[in-house]
Amino acid sequence: MEYKFIRIEPKDQYAVVNINPTQGFNLLTNQMMEEIVNALEDLDRDETVKVIILRGNDKSFCYGIDMQEFNDFVNDLPKLWDVYRDLFVRLNRIKKLLIAEAAGYSIGFGIEIMLNCDIVIAAESLCLGIPEASLGIIPGLGLSKTLEKVIGKGKAMDMILCGRAMIAEEAESVGLVSRIVPLKELSSETEKTAAKIAELPLATIIAIKENITSLAKAEYESGIDETVERKRIIADSDEFREYLGNLTSAKA
């Protein structure tokens, strides 16, 4: 299969999926997200692959949703949420071990993609941000519930409602990041980790992943459905339309 927004590198018993390597900050469109999920599902079925690395670039793991696409769907946001709902459910069902290699910015949906991975190896430059509340919408799909569970209600509220950024050191201390390495060593350390895990039997890797994540996966999908319904309620409100209209006028 040919891809426009990603590039796959087959390795020995693992593979690397490079996110949008031709664009600086990796803005997410539904077509790009579909390519990511399709590639992961193909690799999930590939018996020669035991571990998958999802790699951003030095500037950004993923800078969140492309605002041009958001604006294109502004009069039919439930349709956009339905597209992303299906894609993130499919991402959540990948059986192979996923390792996120994250540097620079990871924003909004970028954080949700990152947290759908099983191990997150980050550079010191990683910076997490959730700007959706400033647009009058709930962030992500299952992201709010995931953050509350991992970092606690107070920090989750602070990041979401106040837009407070979180840097790599804090992200590691609260459990959003597995480990931090210098940027120049990031790719080599991630691949070394993937290769080490790939020495194990595939059945063992999958069993360990399922044993640790089975409950979280079920809760995540439940959270997606709840969030999509809340997004629909917001999108249908006159207050939201007025708020979004004021934002658009202010930027014009």
In a domain, 179, yes or no: yes
Choice among 35, 101, 132, 191 that is catalytic: 132
Establish if 242 belongs to a structural domain: no
Residue 252 domain-assigned?
A: no
132 is catalytic: yes
Domain that holds residue 45: 6-197
Residue 74 within any structural domain of the chain: yes
- Name which of 86, 74, 26 is nearest 54 in CA terms: 26
Report how far residue 250's alpha carbon sits from residue 246's, in angstroms, rounded to the nearest whole number: 6
Annotation says 34 is catalytic:
no
Residue 227 lies in a domain: no
Residue 65 included in any domain: yes
Q: Which residues pair with 107 in a beta bridge?
A: 129
Residues of the chain with pLDDT under 70: 21-23, 251-252
List the catalytic residue out of 2, 41, 69, 112.
112
Other Cβ atoms closer than 10 A to 218: 11
Looking at residue 7, its pLDDT comes to 94
Q: Which pTM value belongs to this model?
A: 0.94
12, exposed or middle or buried, with CB in 10 Å at 0-12, 13-18, 19+? exposed
- What pLDDT does residue 23 have? 65
Using CA atoms, how far apart are residues 161 and 23, in angstroms rounded to an integer? 29
Domain count, the chain: 1
CATH number at residue 113: 3.90.226.10
What was the pLDDT predicted at 75? 83
Within-domain flag for 61: yes
177 found inside a domain: yes
Q: For residues 29 and 62, is the Cβ–Cβ distance under 8 A?
A: no
In the block, tokens 């999920």 appear at 37
pLDDT at residue 71 in the model: 85
pLDDT digits (tens, 9 = 90+) for 105-131: 999 999 999 999 999 999 999 999 999
Where does residue 173 rank: exposed (0-12), middle (13-18), buried (19+ CB within 10 A)?
Answer: exposed
pLDDT of residue 2: 84
- Is residue 191 within 8 A of residue 53, CB to CB? The reply is yes
The structure tokens listed for 60 are: 């950004």
* pLDDT confidence of residue 1: 74
pLDDT of amino acid 77:
87
